[in-house]
Structure 1
Amino acid sequence: MKSYTLAIDQSTQGTKIILLDSNNCPVYKAIKKHTQIVNKQGWISHNLVEIQTNIHDLVQDLLKKYPDVNLKNIALTNQRETAAAWQKSTGKPLCHAIVWQCNRAKTIIAKLDSPDLKKYVKKTSGLELSPYFSAAKFAWFLQNETAVKKAMQQQDLCLGTIDSWLLFTLTSGKSFKTEPSNACRTQLMNIAQLTWDTKLCSYFKIPRFALAEITDSNSLFGETDFWGLLSHKVPITSILGDSQAALFAQNCFTKGSFKVTFGTGSSVMLNIGDKLPNVLDDKLNTSIAWKRSGKVNYVVEGNINYAGAIISWLQNELQIINSASDTEQLAFSANKDDKTVLIPAFSGLGAPYWKPNLKAAFVGMSRTTTKKEIVRAALNSIAFQINDILHEFKKICPQLESEIHVDGGMVNNRYLMQFLSDISNRKIDISAISELSALGTTLNSSSQLPVCQTYTSTYVPCMSQIERTNIINNWNYWISSFSKNFNS
């Protein structure tokens, strides 16, 4: 009888389930989106109950189509940094989750911002002190949510990233665990020792009892019957953050290999091997790729808060496009002489700039600027940020691979892919596998060798060095001057 792995990919926009056969080929896929809760202050939240309901409904639909499916294991992958709080005794969420994009905890960071503390945070966690990471979000819960405060006082509190919450609810409260690819993004884990750091927890006033146990990424995390939908329990054997899972699926196992994932945000991730550098890069984040069977792998990463989210903004808020597919032709047909630049600081700018208070703006516009140039500037801003991160990668790792391995929904945008190739002066390979995070966490759960990676298409640079330099200089000018004058 054939056996299958069920991968659950809990992304920023929705829940996706993928059924993979023994050859790691998807045979079934379904997705349900959840509400993006955005208030007048721009705070972004998710309803954990809605996400749980969506998982239940998706699995129920799967079983209707495949009532006799033989599930051998479950593998999870998830959006990172999003912070959740729930009651340990009941599993009931105490408030909405704070999404990784949300900048509301910047007031927490402002109070902690001292040179010595920042130095310790960077050295110990590998991360720049920032509201982007989960620790400040946990602290915000404890300061602002009455139900969370009460649960802490009663020592009945769980604080965790989405992987921990998914595992807890899937196992009906029997398993409260996480693993290093997610734990390292909280800003509370010592990345050398792979344990919660007492001093970091103290800085953020996070109680240790409320944090999950950290285990290997390919552990036996627990078992689930999906709240009674299955007649028996199935083991959960893999958890990886979505970006690390994509790195795994892209076969980036050697030092110098890297990939770019285009999602709601974008993750640009470089494998730096199994040794933690003595001196950590001050512009990028040093994190854990995974810990498998006791062996650790490290990465350096630059995160872009807004990638696909920029396209959603053009469509839903500005209402200048009808669908994401419109952007390609609009950008191709834009006036080549227009120098409009989008500074995409909708929740500040992350790596490698680290300007959390910066505001978004279109700059360099003229009277003849139209929606074509605005759309092109939006797409260009994504490529500019990626290119700036790649420059930092080259400094860290001279043996950096010459190709860019890309994945995610935006790889179908021919304009964006060509511009990224042109501006970075690198060949781009687009993965033929669309569900890389799901595949990565599935591979992590087994002892099989990674799949042979194939590519649907490639892009090669066709821009002159003079044009490339002029375009990059224009971007650098606006980033520098705008940051200097408006970073308040």
Structure 2
Amino acid sequence: MPKFVLAIDQGTTSTRSIIYDEQGARVGIGQREHRQIFPEQGWVEHDPNEIWDNTRLVIATAIADADVDPSTIRAIGITNQRETTVVWDKRTGEPVYNAIVWQDTRTAGAAGALGLDQAAWLERTGLLINSYPAGPKIAWILDHVDGARERAEHGELAFGTIDAWLLFKLTGQHRTDVTNASRTLLMNLDTLEWDPELCEKLRVPASMLPEICSSVDDFGTVTHHGLLEGIPVTAVLGDQQAAMFGQGCFSPGQAKCTYGTGLFLLLNTGSQKVTSANGMLSTVCYRIRGEKPVYALEGSVAVGGALIQWLRDNLGIIRIAPEVERLAQTVPDNGGVTIVPAFSGLFAPRWVPDARGIITGLTRFATKAHLARAALEATAMQVREVTDAMVADSGVELEVLRVDGGMVANELLMQLQADVLGVDVLRPVDIETTASGVAYAAGLGAGLWETLEVVASHAEAAKTWAPAMDAAKVASLVAQWNEAVARSL
């Protein structure tokens, strides 16, 4: 009888369920977008119940699309937008507030208000104290929802990133994995446990927190979804760590960049936790039950594909996202135009929450084609910035960059990326490595695949871009970018 693995990929703009066979091939998919809620400037929220409803729908759609008997699904893996924060009633399962999304900047003043030491927290958690991690988001909900703090202190409320929320709804268990826990400012990166002192300083009751498991582990069996009843959840990974798994980046020095709503570059540092001096984050890359954790350096950029969506939805210069490539190809360069997409401030490596997006170099000569090309160049330049910082931290020169995510279908962008980095860029056969990665992890946990080497064999490169731009032109682009960024600060 054939065996399958089901991946739940809960992202910033949509939820997908994808079914994979024993050869790692995709056989069925379901996908549905959810609302982006913007109550105030800088605030970004999602409705957790809408995400749960969509999750149930896309699971059913994927099973129908694959035309498989649900009893042949041997394991489930969950991957998710990481820092997005949900607080719910333990008894009723109802959220007390909308999910606060990782892009949200309402907690930007948390470090200053609490008087916390950045260097000490960076060493202990791998994170900077800003609006990005989940911990300050929890505290905000407790402080701004009537009665929430009192209920939390009485043990009535639960916190989770989206993985924990979906696990709770599927299995009734309150668990998360080390990759998601490492994005909260509440987990000690050395012990991989919740840190009582950090919880106290951020004013988050420890009773709210889920049990921390390895990434490949026993997360419980499904009891709240008829089609999947009794099937075990054997893997949970934050989306970027799942992409590392999907790219087969299991050796120190291997790196990948995911081009989604944001841009996320991770470098495997092995069993060695590296504390950044250049604006990078330290994080858990993955942990397999019974084994030592593997760490990574990460550069997180808030706006990648979101910039293309802005060109489409706010400016109306393209009808659909893929048009940006064809439009940008109609001009030989950016015509002097630079876009700095600091819509939520600047993330790595600069971390300036009050920076604002700008367009520089506009003249009567500039057209929408120049704006399209400038948008692609902004994406490539932001990846170059985090790459330079990561190399400075690790002392390891990047030899090749593995890429994935929806934007890597844009071949002009991939060529620009190779040009400004000066290294080859490799795109895999399956560019949606977030879903395939957590499927491989779940299959590993269920015994469908025996070793990481077998998993890595599925990460086949489909196309490679080599640097082709003149060094002087690259230097000019970098100078133009830096000048524009300076104006956005």
Q: TM-score, normalised by structure 1?
A: 0.94
Q: How does 1:315-326 map to 2 (within 5 A)?
A: 315-326=312-323
| Residue aligned with 2:226, SS | coil
Residue number in structure 1 paired with 2:122:
122
The Cα shift of 1:83 comes to: 0.6
Task: Give the direction of change, closer, same or farther, for the CA distance of 1:227–1:381 in structure 2 (3 Å limit).
Answer: same
Q: Which amino acid in structure 1 is aligned with residue 48 of structure 2?
A: L
CA contact (8 A) 1:218 1:239 kept: yes
Partner deviation per Cα, 1:147-172 (whole Å, 9 max, x = no partner): 5335314321111111111111111x
CA contact (8 A) 1:31 1:58 kept: yes
* Bigger mean CA deviation after superposition, 125-134 or 397-406: 397-406
Residue number in structure 2 paired with 1:486:
none
1:386 matched to 2:391: no
Task: Give the direction of change, closer, same or farther, for the CA distance of 1:109–1:320 in structure 2 (3 Å limit).
Answer: farther
Q: Equivalents in 2 of 1:413, 1:422: separation in Å?
A: 15
Residue number in structure 2 paired with 1:52:
52
Residue number in structure 1 paired with 2:281:
285
Residue number in structure 2 paired with 1:83:
85
| Residue aligned with 2:331, SS | coil
CA contact (8 A) 2:19 2:63 kept: no
1:457 matched to 2:460: no
Q: Which amino acid in structure 1 is aligned with residue 439 of structure 2?
A: T
Partner deviation per Cα, 1:465-488 (whole Å, 9 max, x = no partner): 1111111011112223442xxxxx
Which of residues 243, 248, 259 is equivalent to 1:262?
259
* Bigger mean CA deviation after superposition, 85-94 or 438-447: 438-447
* Bigger mean CA deviation after superposition, 257-266 or 439-448: 439-448
| Residue aligned with 2:256, SS | strand
The Cα shift of 1:451 comes to: 3.8
The Cα shift of 1:441 comes to: 1.3
CA contact (8 A) 2:110 2:130 kept: no
| Residue aligned with 1:187, SS | coil
| Residue aligned with 1:17, SS | strand
Q: Equivalents in 2 of 1:470, 1:60: separation in Å?
A: 51
Structure 2's unaligned 5+ residue stretches are 445-449
Q: How does 1:307-318 map to 2 (within 5 A)?
A: 307-318=304-315
The Cα shift of 1:62 comes to: 4.1
Partner deviation per Cα, 1:228-265 (whole Å, 9 max, x = no partner): 334x4111100001111111121111111100101111
CA contact (8 A) 1:225 1:233 kept: yes
Partner deviation per Cα, 1:365-387 (whole Å, 9 max, x = no partner): 22322211122212211111100
Task: Give the direction of change, closer, same or farther, for the CA distance of 1:337–1:2 in structure 2 (3 Å limit).
Answer: closer
Q: How does 1:421-436 map to 2 (within 5 A)?
A: 421-436=418-433
The Cα shift of 1:85 comes to: 0.6
Q: Equivalents in 1 of 2:44, 2:64: separation in Å?
A: 34
Q: Equivalents in 1 of 2:40, 2:212: separation in Å?
A: 36
Q: How does 1:342-361 map to 2 (within 5 A)?
A: 342-361=339-358
The Cα shift of 1:431 comes to: 0.9
1:275 matched to 2:281: no
| Residue aligned with 1:133, SS | coil
Q: Which amino acid in structure 2 is aligned with residue 450 of structure 1?
A: V
| Residue aligned with 1:472, SS | helix
Partner deviation per Cα, 1:400-431 (whole Å, 9 max, x = no partner): 34111101111111221111111111111111
1:407 matched to 2:416: no
The Cα shift of 1:67 comes to: 6.2
Residue number in structure 1 paired with 2:296:
299
* Bigger mean CA deviation after superposition, 199-208 or 220-229: 220-229
Runs (4+) of structure 1 moved beyond 6 Å? none
CA contact (8 A) 2:357 2:488 kept: no
Q: How does 1:127-206 map to 2 (within 5 A)?
A: 127-146=127-146, 148-171=148-171, 173=172, 175-206=173-204
Task: Give the direction of change, closer, same or farther, for the CA distance of 1:62–1:386 in structure 2 (3 Å limit).
Answer: closer
| Residue aligned with 2:296, SS | strand
Q: Equivalents in 1 of 2:334, 2:163: separation in Å?
A: 47
Residue number in structure 1 paired with 2:208:
210
Q: Percent identity?
A: 33
| Residue aligned with 1:288, SS | strand
CA contact (8 A) 1:10 1:16 kept: yes
Task: Give the direction of change, closer, same or farther, for the CA distance of 1:346–1:251 in structure 2 (3 Å limit).
Answer: same
* Bigger mean CA deviation after superposition, 433-442 or 238-247: 433-442
Which of residues 363, 369, 372 is equivalent to 2:369?
372
Which of residues 473, 477, 481 is equivalent to 1:467?
473
Partner deviation per Cα, 1:97-154 (whole Å, 9 max, x = no partner): 011111111133341355xx21221111111111011111111111112253353143
Task: Give the direction of change, closer, same or farther, for the CA distance of 1:402–1:92 in structure 2 (3 Å limit).
Answer: same
CA contact (8 A) 2:160 2:210 kept: yes
Aligned length: 477
Q: Equivalents in 2 of 1:103, 1:95: separation in Å?
A: 16
Q: Equivalents in 1 of 2:370, 2:63: separation in Å?
A: 48
Q: Which amino acid in structure 1 is aligned with residue 474 of structure 2?
A: R
The Cα shift of 1:281 comes to: 3.0
Which of residues 94, 97, 100 is equivalent to 1:98?
100
Residue number in structure 1 paired with 2:327:
330
Q: Which amino acid in structure 2 is aligned with residue 132 of structure 1?
A: Y
Structure 1's unaligned 5+ residue stretches are 484-488
Q: Which amino acid in structure 2 is aligned with residue 457 of structure 1?
A: K
Q: TM-score, normalised by structure 2?
A: 0.94
Q: Equivalents in 2 of 1:11, 1:318: separation in Å?
A: 24
CA contact (8 A) 1:108 1:139 kept: no
Q: Equivalents in 2 of 1:63, 1:327: separation in Å?
A: 34
| Residue aligned with 2:287, SS | strand
